[in-house]
Amino acid sequence: MPDALWTADEIAQAIGGQVAGDFAVSGVSIDTRSVEPGDLFVPLIGVRDGHDFVPQAVANGATGVLAARAVDAPAVVVADTFKALEALGVAARERAPQCKRGAVTGSVGKTSVTRAIEAGLRLAGKAHASVKSYNNHIGVPLTLARMPRDTERAVFEVGMNHADEIVPLSGFVQPHAVAITTVGPVHLENFADGEQGVARAKAEIFAGLRPGGVAVLNADNRWFDFLKAEAEKVGATVWSFGEATGATARLTSFQVEGEGATVSVDLRGETFSFPIRQTGVHWGPNSLCVLLMLEALDVPRETALAALAAFAPIEGRGAEKTIRIPGGAFTLVDESYNANPVSMQAALKTLGARKVAGRRVIALTDMLELGEDSARFHAELAEPIAAANVDMVFLAGVHMKSLWEALPPTRRGGYAEVTEKLTLALTGAVQPGDVVMVKGSNGSKAGALAAALATIDLGEQG
């Protein structure tokens, strides 16, 4: 395999393991369900011992195994497979010194911003990026281990639920540029000092920043001054984005036009406009964050703008579908992947700004990990719902009961403690011309509502 990602000897040398059968691999996987032919399978030990799944991984096409005990397959044997995966990630980084690396974190928008940056990197040359939301203590080293040696640019998503989780991840990546999309009230139940603790945890991304690196920060965020000071402590050059006066990339206009928008910016005194395939108001500042990150990673501006012009909304994060029903069709806006107070308000503002032929309908499920202020955060959504002129509201979850009680009867469409019990009322209420937005935390099963709407049986509606 001349273009192998890793050979058995290279793996053994990188992690200090023993070769037990020669092989070469073109990928790395930790899950038998996603193993592809030519992969290295890394069995991790969690609730189940991944070694139990080695036969299945081999049957699915894995050509080698990183193993901590004897297996019936070509392998590199190590003492600890998780530590070995980390070491392999570091080795991948070190063997690609030419690679410019970026890292993205934030309370809202980090996955979409990472994907948009990736689009620009791929247009510019040989690029690498995390898949899905592989942003934790396993996902980051796994993404590094998958990085080809000739990669020119790479971007990594970095997440956290608690303090002290991002420091080691930033150390693995050693980014040349980092972005914090925003800081807001998420994972609050894990921080005794609330949002300030979240801001400190996000600032951990500066820990691994390369000397002379760039920190791209949200000038409109209440924690900007704190984050800027933390970035400067490590010698970072700070670039900012947003509507605030003095921002490196200052948003001067965001105009929704059909299924996209035009963004106008003042970038270091130069003014210009560019189209994007997004309608969410948060994509005004987000697109500027992407522009600055791509600049920091040496992507030409025309390439960056071309990538933004082509980048479509991601499934579960604003993707739209037209669903046919008797008498016409309705538009499903799928925001079901995640939710917190910041992203909820942004999504509602976007819904309120769009022109609709019928009604604005929303189906919301619980926002999770908000701690003792959860009831207040949910109830306070009544105001942006009213401002967005939402006609009908469907809610699911014990926390959403607080919002249900704060709504006027004229807006109440239906409520259920369990998401699945809301499905019939929601699908039965949709009418032609409606725009229906579904949003909630992934753990509260908002996706089930989006799926039900996307698969309404025309025969049953007749």
Three-class SS of residue 155?
strand
Digit-coded pLDDT (tens) for 213-262: 999 999 999 999 999 999 999 999 999 999 999 999 999 999 988 788 99
Q: CA–CA separation, 331 vs 50, rounded Å?
A: 43
**What confidence score (pLDDT) does residue 136 get?**
87
CATH second-level architecture of 6-80?
3-Layer(aba) Sandwich (3.40)
Q: Which of 451, 439, 336, 317 is nearest to 385 (CA)?
A: 439
Spans of all domains in the chain = 6-80, 96-310, 319-456
Does 22 score more than 70 pLDDT?
yes
* Protein fold of 96-310: UDP-N-acetylmuramoyl-L-alanine:D-glutamate ligase (3.40.1190)
CA distance 290 to 363: 30
Positive or negative, the CA dihedral 164, 167, 172, 175 is positive
Q: What percent of the chain has pLDDT over 70?
A: 96
Provide the mean pLDDT of the chain. Answer: 92
* 255 DSSP β-pair partners: 262
CA distance 88 to 119: 26
Annotated binding residues, written as ranges, equal 106-112
Q: Is residue 312 over pLDDT 90?
A: no
Please, which residues have CB within 8 angstroms of residue 383's CB and are 6 or more apart in sequence?
none
What does the pLDDT read at residue 458?
Answer: 46
pLDDT tier, 212 (very low <50, low <70, confident <90, very high otherwise): very high
For residue 326, the surrounding DSSP H or E stretch is none
Domain 319-456: which topology? Protein-Tyrosine Phosphatase; Chain A (3.90.190)
**In this structure, what are the phi and psi dihedrals at residue 49, rounded to the nearest 5 degrees?**
-85, 115
Provide the token pair at 383.
């105001």
Q: Is the pLDDT of residue 38 over 90?
A: yes
- pTM score of the predicted model: 0.80
- Above 80 in pLDDT, residue 185? no
pLDDT band at 462 (very low <50, low <70, confident <90, very high): very low
Highest mean pLDDT among 157-171, 174-188, 221-235, 333-347: 221-235
The H or E element that residue 393 is part of is strand 392-396
Q: Answer for the pair 315, 132: CB distance below 8 angstroms, yes or no.
A: no
Give binding residues for ATP as ranges.
106-112
CA–CA separation, 344 vs 342, rounded Å? 5
CA 113, distance to chain mean position in Å, is 7
Better-scored residue on pLDDT, 202 or 313: 202
More confident call, 318 vs 105: 105
Q: Between helices 283-296 and 110-124, what is the axis angle to 10°?
A: 40
d(CA 16, CA 34): 27
Which of 193-197, 329-333, 456-460 shows the lowest mean pLDDT across its residues? 456-460
pLDDT attached to residue 188: 58
Widest pairwise Cα distance in the chain? 70
351 has pLDDT over 80: yes
Confidence of residue 338 (pLDDT cuts 50, 70, 90): confident
How far is it, in rounded angstroms, from Cα 71 to Cα 49? 13
**Contact by Cβ (8 Å): 333, 436:** yes
Question: Binning pLDDT at 50, 70 and 90, where does residue 191 land?
Answer: low
Residue 411 burial (CB < 10 Å; 0-12/13-18/19+)? middle
Q: What is the dihedral of CA 385, 387, 392, 395, to 10 degrees?
A: 0
Element spanning 318, H or E: none
Q: How high is the pLDDT of residue 75?
A: 97
pLDDT value at residue 460:
40
| Spatial CB neighbours of 416, under 8 Å, sequence gap ≥ 6 | 395, 396, 422, 425
Average the pLDDT over each of 9-23, 124-138, 180-194, 242-256 and give the range with the smallest value: 180-194
Tens-place pLDDT, residues 248-293: 999 999 998 878 899 999 999 999 999 999 888 889 999 999 999 9
- Backbone φ, ψ for residue 304 (5° rounding): -60, -45
Strands (E), 277-391: 319-325, 328-335, 360-365
Q: Which two tokens stand for residue 247?
A: 């921002």
Burial class (CB in 10 A: 0-12, 13-18, 19+), 164: exposed
Nearest Cα residue to 205 out of 215, 190, 197, 194: 215
pLDDT at res. 396: 95
- 377 is written with which tokens? 């955060």
